[in-house]
Amino acid sequence: MPKLRNILLTGGAGYIGSHVALSLIDKGHKVTIIDSLVTGNKKIIPKKANFVQSDIANIETLESLILNNKFDALMHFAAFVKVEESIDKSNKYFDNNVRKSKILFDTCVKNKLNNIIFSSTAAVYGNKSKFPIVEDTVLSPLNPYSRSKLLAEEYLEKLSKENKANYIILRYFNVAGADPLLRSGLIAENPTHLIKVASEVVVKKRDYIEIFGNDYPTPDGTAVRDYISVSDLADVHVLSLDYLLDNNKSLIMNCGYGYGYSVKEILNKINLIIDNPLNIKIGKRRKGDAISLIADIQKIKKILKWEPKHNKLDDILKTAIKWEKKILHE
């Protein structure tokens, strides 16, 4: 019988954090969520989670929580995540994603909470010519968002070398879809996520979707991404938790499916499952966007024995659209 764990989870009112919290709770684990609600939404916090509204850099709150709960691990999701915004507001990203993460990690380690799972991004790889991308590829982040994630990674690695922490860093490729039971999904102001924006067009929340660049050196000229279901990603975190606590071994692993779809392929697929075709416009490339990102997932499959359960693209797209319809009427 699997051991039941007690988890401190930051960013649980956000897209990925809320799904991971659901997956943990579904498997019987205890979850305490800390979230400032600056970008998060209280209505997607799982009802069975303990919730504390606070900034992740509030040392007094953190220490009180850690000292009054026997947490087995920290799962850190809280972050600003918009690439284009990060270019215009880099200080905001370095303050929140780096400085505050360091305070969080230091406070946890000081209080003997030294098992940490960190939510990172494949954007740390930058533009690469060889695919799929393996974890030891040279890192070359293209924007302040991905640079901020890399700096947080490096700080965790420093703590590990000092024998202060064990970590698993998970580098996500493009996360998509929603919980099959529609308990959570992506809620965002001014979203930039392709499938989210397309879903808003489907439910007539916006008039059109714009393709940012059709002159990339790819088969159809549009950028290519490796999309992973948010539910599969949530399961990866639960497996990572068990591995980390059972082995006390630090790891960095990619999270994706090992194959990619272009922007046009995604939009064409959506057109096949809806009644009225999307209104699509062609725009210029966005600053900071990579040409193609496809994960090598041999490491995560071998170490965690992970097998995707939600990797049908149709199902990912359908859950995203169903979620959009649900929140439209709430």
C-alpha torsion 217→123→186→216, nearest 10: -10
Q: Catalytic residue at 261?
A: no
Rg (the chain; Cα; Å): 19
Q: Which residues make beta-bridge pairs with 252?
A: 169
DSSP assignment of 47-103: TTSEEEE--TT-HHHHHHHHHHS--SEEEE------HHHHHH-HHHHHIIIIIHHHH
The answer to whether the CB of 237 falls within 8 A of the CB of 175 is: no
Distances (CA, A) of 208 to 103, 203, 275, 281, 294: 42, 11, 15, 7, 27
Which one of the listed residues 15, 145, 243, 257 is annotated catalytic?
A: 145
Smallest CA-to-CA distance from 98 within 112, 114, 118 is with 118
Distance CA 91, CA 65 (A): 29
- The size of the chain, in residues, is 330
Which sequence positions are flagged as catalytic? 145
